[in-house]
Structure 1
Amino acid sequence: MPDTGMMPMTREELNARGIDVPDFVYVIGDAYVDHPSFGAAIISRVLEAKGFSVAIVSQPDWRSDRDFTRFGRPRLGFLVTSGNIDSMVAHYTAAKRKRSEDAYSPGGKAGKRPDRAVLVYCQKIRQLYGDIPLIIGGLEASLRRFAHYDYWDDRVRPSILEESGADLLLFGMGEHSILEVAQGLRDGIPVGELTEIRGSCYMTAPEHTPFGAAECPSYAQVCESKKAYAKACRIQYDQQDEVYGKRVIQRHGSRMLVQNPPALSLTTEELDWVYSLPYTRTYHPSYEPQGGVPGIAEVQFSITHNRGCFGFCNFCSIALHQGRRITVRSEESVIREAERIVQMPNFKGYIHDVGGPTANFRHPSCEKQLTAGLCKGKKCLAPTPCKGLHADHREYLHMLRRLRKIKGVKRVFIRSGIRYDYLMADPDDTFLRELIRYHVSGQLKVAPEHCAAAVLDKMGKPHIEAYLAFQKKFYEITKGMGKEQYLVPYLMSSHPGSTLQAAVELAVFLKQQHIHPEQVQDFYPTPGTLSTCMFYTELDPYTMEPVYVPKTPEEKAMQRALLQYFQPKNKALVLAALKKAGRRDLIGTGPDCLVAPEEPARRIPAADRNRSRKDGQKWRKGKGTDRRGKR
């Protein structure tokens, strides 16, 4: 059979490589896509490059043993991930409605993985293979590593490591930790003795708990007390720094969860190596008859140049997963990847993105963090930029200029997030000018999220004045260049802290700014974020002050409708919201009003009422006609 250039997905592909028993069988909840935007592709390529063989079991049928036994018992162990996103987020909307599509499945078809995929896959592996080494990782495992609030069950669940029965959980970006695990297993070290690896969690008897750890309230305590839950959340975030972060422990019944300090960030040289591996940058050819994998479309011709995000929004998982420290690839590495992309047969000349969690971060926010770590409980950009912030786009700009000059490249776009507050902190506006001239395809997506200061503080976002300053400058430069380009702001309704009055304030702001968002996002309480902690506890974990949380479907619907007050379908909800918020002054036809009043019920003249009654009688007797004279 022809070599696909990818990890083997079938026994025939494995045998074609001359391998009878693979070192690892990697079970993933996504379709297998060999592209560095997919975590499973990176981990498998890193293992392969270091001499380990990996066989892929993609989206196995969990109701049967067949897929899990395809390669037999691996030599070293099983690796399990749900894929690029949490399986529950993949399956359900913020309103807990089942999604009809899945971008990470062949043909976009939903239902190819189970709910809580990591748990289901691990339970099946344990059933079939007993005590074989079992290692879990990826976003679902990483963000559920402690006792956590689960939005879909509306309760606190234990660590996914305890619940799954796995031996180790690798959190964050796992290149360092997976290689240490693989080398330890190859050297004959029992998996239960691999307890010193940074970026890993394990369960142990309480008497074997290491000294000097920061202890969270136990699973039982966080189930019973929301204050204890908020305290645990703060401890977890405060130790999520590779410079000063301690071990963190949390008791789960008769066992202790131990999280080792975060793995060290990859150096530039290490990142260059990871992204130089021979990714085919596409999905496995077996998916072609089903229409391919939709998730590749946006990233196939995109380039990741950085990791980490010191922006640290409270509703975002990056701080607890990748971390806040910025690490970058070298300019030469990025250029080489672009040159490889140009040679791809289906490349049309457009590089879709050169970014990462935040596209325009190319340096640490300040030099201090390299030796002292990032400040606990503080943000580099919110509510205003730190005085120690070093905002400089020159290196990023130089790289973009080189990319634009590559033969075969027509345009280079930037579609991952731009932090406009960081951009405005740069005294040199050259980058902004070139961004507008060369790297925007008609619309630039930015994320002010809200306008009310109290809500933005709970989001960990800058105040709206930063957005207004950027908006003014963007349109001034755009107009000066004779271009017609627009900002598309991301907005969020029902975030903790957002009262109905704050939602009305946002609607008024949108009208004043002539913004008509086509899409808005309800806050989604995903595992592990500070905002989810606030949603569940109704407390700010850093101040322990109460936080208002809109939770009823009625209020959430009102807040969402207010963001699109101009749509006729939302009129009834907007009227109800304005009345409930005591803002009847915004109901009317004046220039400052959001919605017209309800039309009074039209009175039907008596003669018409009698005529209608007689027509009805004719219909019942079979003698009526419609307006075209037809029955």
Structure 2
Amino acid sequence: MEELRLSNWLPTTNKEVKIRGWDALDVILFSGDAYVDHPSFGPAVIGRILESYGLRVAIVPQPNVNDNLQDFVKLGAPKLFFGVTGGCMDPMVSNYNANKRKRKKDAYTPNGDIGFRPDYATTVYSNILKEKWPDIPVLIGGIEASLRRVTHYDYWSDKLMPSILVSSKADMLVYGMGEQPLREIVRLLQKGVPFHSINTIKQTVLLIENEEDIPKNKNWEDVEIASHDDCLNDKKTFASNFKVIEQESNKLYARRIFQKVGNKTLMINPPYPTMTEEEIDASFELPYTRLPHPKYNKRGPIPAYEMIKFSINIHRGCFGGCSFCTISAHQGKFIASRSQESVLREVDTIANMPDFKGYLSDIGGPSANMYKMKGKVQEICDKCVAPSCISPVICSNLDTSHKPLTQLYQAVDNHPKVKKSFIGSGIRHDMLVPEFNKNADAKELDDYTEEVMTKHVSGRLKVAPEHTSDPVLKLMRKPSFKYFHKFKERFDKINNSKKLKLQLIPYFISNHPACEAEDMADLAAETKDMGFQLEQVQGFTPTPMTVATVIYYSGYHPYTLEKVKTPKTQKEKDEQHRFFFWYRHENRAWIKNTLNKLGRTDLLKVLLPENDKWRKNKPGKTKNTFNDAVPFNQRKNKAKFRSKKKRR
């Protein structure tokens, strides 16, 4: 890789602006993350996209909100607009764990230091900018804005909140992946259209004064959901809204959504169609340095960057539709895949980095094995309203061939400088089971599984069945646990025949809606019976824009409006998670007493039988990581920077 100069990064200071010879800026971005110029970091992608449209762009990473606010005025006013994002993760997820306790590390900050990102960062930054520069438009985006675009429940304040446009005072919100709407916004601004007149761009959200005329678009159908005030007054009404929101978010041809918020009207324009291969290739092949800005050289490594430094993202989107996950709400359920040629060009770029040792840490995406998968007959997908393509069963119109992905892995490994490529992203093990994936070629599925196990795993294969209870799994939109048994049979067969000595590591969730203490006891007993001693537990964390969060707050399932019980007190949560650690000495008496009260002596005999080999474990031998568990709905991002021991 050629030696890089400071001007290779987007400027972050006036000095760097002058190095480029600029006397003014078109757009200034503010981000809750440190600036890493890499395609896995959203703020960098947006900056490079805007730059590719001929704009002069600067970025202010992690501006100080505790001093005289100099960071918000040091670059002056941009000609077009300010862009604001809280970062690659919702700031509240970055700052707090499932028990609302402050995290000890921020993976998107040098040295993992905390305190550089405020709570509700998008709102904080936007309000400061509107106060300092009232006449300059503010455009917000990123995952925090995207998931808070409509009335939502905020777990950390335990309140129902209106669209983030209300609290942030921003002029416009871009939801989802920003390349397509930004292209059209910039095109209109460059033609001289005033920012406040831009109101019919897809994938944008605006607040309209009630006396204003509703923008017309003859190509869109409209739907109005219950007002914010009505949601505040009735939890069931709030729940009923979400069915419309989720379905319209995942349609190829969606309706425009309106919602009354006080004396204004929220307008959510329909999303863009899924990015084409050419479009997504172009986004990943912008002139990134692939490095953190040099300003951080003396502050220590950025953990998130260190984990994805030698990884490659091959697609966006996820058609799983899990009820606890926000991926489809942000990236969409339809898969946008890069071409093999584009991926291989990135492999070549990484392979020629001076510190590359021959090992790629991940070739993946939100789910590792959805590359190139799409509907066989596009017209069927065009009319689909289902939030998931694989729940309760795999859609007969879905092409789940793993052959393109297997071939991609093999092509990557053929690179002369690649010694080994790992799959660090989560693999949907259920799609590798012919009994569940009935339309797929069984041999093809086995070929993929064998490819992963023999060439792309280091000691442990981690998958996420999430639970063992069928009622809980149904609500999660996950398949029956029996398919995990089927997958384990195939795993064991390959493991033994190839003499691999790999471990299969399953991940599970506690405290999920519909889950009761008895379900966790069943989970503990069944997994123990399979030979697993679970090491980590994910505590359910409600985050905006998921079915499970709507249920957690309202008590109603948004699709059926039937009541669903959810563990909410700390006592309930702690008791559920204790079943995971049945082998810990301090939990045994409690488990024995609880199961006797439930009349489940059958489970007691499985978990704590006399002369049990597990009793040899000393108290505290296995670390309980419950309090530091990261919400599974942003698992893909967090997986990239966890240590090996904690990786998800």
Normalised to the residue count of structure 1, the TM-score between the two structures is: 0.91
Offset of residue 584 of structure 1: 4.5
Match 1:266 to one of 266, 275, 281 = 275
Query: Which residue type is aligned with residue 587 of structure 2?
Result: N
Residue 398 of structure 1: how far off its partner (Å)? 1.0
Instruction: Compare 388-397 and 441-450 and name the one that shifted more.
Output: 388-397
* From 17, 20, 23, the counterpart of 2:20: 17
CA deviations 1:272-291 (Å, max 9, x no partner) are 11111111112111112111
Does structure 1 residue 209 correspond to structure 2 residue 214? yes
For the residue of structure 1 that corresponds to 2:8, the secondary structure is coil
Structure 2 residue aligned with 1:172:
176
Tell whether 2:333 aligns with 1:347.
Answer: no
Match of 2:633 in 1: none
| Residue 415 of structure 2: aligned partner | 406
Confirm or deny: 8 A CA contact 2:254 2:270 kept in the other structure.
yes
Residue 608 of structure 1 aligns with which residue?
A: none
Moved more, 80-89 or 535-544: 535-544
**Aligned-pair CA distance for 1:593:** 8.1
- 1:491 matched to 2:494? The reply is no
The equivalent residue for 2:460 is 443
Does the CA contact (< 8 Å) of 1:558 and 1:574 recur in 2?
no
1:379 aligns with 2:379: no
User: Structure 1 residues 439 and 370, CA, compared in 2 at 3 Å: closer, same or farther?
Assistant: farther
Aligned to 1:527: 544
Judged with a 3 Å threshold, the aligned counterparts in structure 2 of structure 1 residues 591 and 455 are, in CA distance, closer, same or farther, namely farther
Corresponding residue of 1:86: 90
* Distance of 2:398 and 2:483 partners within structure 1: 15
- The alignment partner of 1:258 has SS state of strand
Map Cα deviations across residues 25-45 of structure 1 (whole Å, 9 max, x no partner).
100000011111111111111
CA contact (8 A) 2:380 2:397 kept: no
Corresponding residue of 2:626: none
Displacement of 1:473: 0.2
Q: In the aligned structure 2, how far is the partner of 1:123 from the partner of 1:108?
A: 26
Q: 1:485 to 1:594 in 2, by over 3 A?
A: closer
What's 2:492 paired with? 475
Q: Deviations over 1:551-589 (max 9, x none)?
A: 111111011110121122433543454345333454465
Aligned in 2, Cα 1:574/1:371: closer, same or farther, shift over 3 Å? same
CA distance in 2, matches of 1:189, 1:337: 37
Determine the C-alpha separation between the residues in 1 that align with 2:611 and 2:238. Answer: 44
> Helix, strand or coil for the counterpart of 1:395?
helix
Q: Which amino acid aligns with 2:40?
A: S
Partner of 1:616: none
Q: Who is 1:29 aligned against?
A: 32
1:139 is the counterpart of 2:143: yes
CA distance in 2, matches of 1:186, 1:309: 34
Helix, strand or coil at the partner of 2:399: coil
Matched to 2:569, the amino acid is T
Residue in 2 aligned with 1:127? 131
| Range 2-11 or range 191-200, more displaced | 2-11
Q: 2:309 aligns with which of 291, 300, 306?
A: 300
| 2:534 and 2:581 in contact (8 A); partners too | yes
Preserved contact between residue 366 and residue 388 of structure 1 (Cα < 8 Å): yes
Instruction: Return the match for 1:422 from 421, 431, 437.
Output: 431
Distance 1:225 1:210 in 2: 30
Q: Structure 1 residue 460 and structure 2 residue 463: aligned?
A: no
Match of 2:164 in 1: 160
Distance in 2, Cα, partners of 1:302 & 1:199: 29
Q: CA deviation at 1:249?
A: 1.0
Q: Is this contact kept in 1: 2:6–2:294, CA < 8 A?
A: no
Paired letter, 2:123: L
| Kept in 1: contact 2:109–2:302 (CA 8 A) | yes
The alpha-carbon distance between structure 1 residues 374 and 354, as it changes in their structure 2 partners (threshold 3 A), is: farther
- Return the alpha-carbon distance in structure 2 between the equivalents of residues 542 and 140 of structure 1: 25
Aligned to 2:468, what secondary structure does the other structure show?
coil
Q: 1:105 to 1:310 in 2, by over 3 A?
A: same
Is the counterpart of residue 564 in structure 1 residue 581 in structure 2?
yes
**Alpha carbons of structure 1 residues 152 and 115: separation in structure 2 relative to 1, 3 Å:** same
Q: Separation in 2 of the partners of 1:576 and 1:506?
A: 18
For these two proteins, the number of residue pairs brought into alignment is: 596
Counterpart of 2:229 in structure 1 is 220
Secondary structure of the 1:298 match is helix
- Asked whether the equivalents of residues 565 and 595 of structure 1 are also in contact (C-alpha less than 8 Å), the reply is no
Q: Distance in 1 between matches of 2:147 and 2:398?
A: 28
| SS in structure 2 at match of 1:373 | helix
Percentage identity across aligned positions?
40
- Greater Cα radius of gyration, structure 1 or 2: 1
Alignment check: 8 A CA contact 1:96 1:152 kept = yes
Contact 1:587 1:594 (8 Å CA) reproduced = no
Aligned with 2:563 (options 537, 543, 546): 546
- Partner amino acid, structure 2, of 1:473: R
- Tell me whether 1:395 sits opposite 2:404 in the alignment: yes
Residue in structure 1 matching 2:529, options 491, 512, 533: 512
- Taking structure 1 as reference, are residues 70 and 583 closer, same or farther at Cα in structure 2, changes over 3 Å only? same
Aligned equivalents of 1:152, 1:579: Cα separation in 2: 35
Give ranges in structure 1 of 5+ residues lacking alignment. 597-631
Q: Which amino acid aligns with 2:400?
A: A
Question: Take 2:232 and 2:195, find their aligned partners in 1: how far apart are those partners?
Answer: 30
Is 1:196 aligned to residue 200 of structure 2? yes
Residue deviations 1:466-490, cap 9 Å, x none?
Answer: 1111111011111100111111111
Partner of 1:617: none
Residue number in structure 1 paired with 2:631: none
Aligned to 2:327: 318
Distance in 2 of aligned mates of 1:370 and 1:574 = 53
Aligned to 1:604: none
Q: Which has the higher contact order (CA 8 A, sep 6+)?
A: 2
Please say if residues 377 and 542 of structure 1, whose CA atoms lie closer than 8 Å, have aligned partners that are also in contact: no
SS in 1 for 2:474: helix
CA contact (8 A) 2:87 2:143 kept: yes
Q: What are the ranges of 5 or more consecutive residues in structure 2 without an aligned counterpart?
A: 616-648
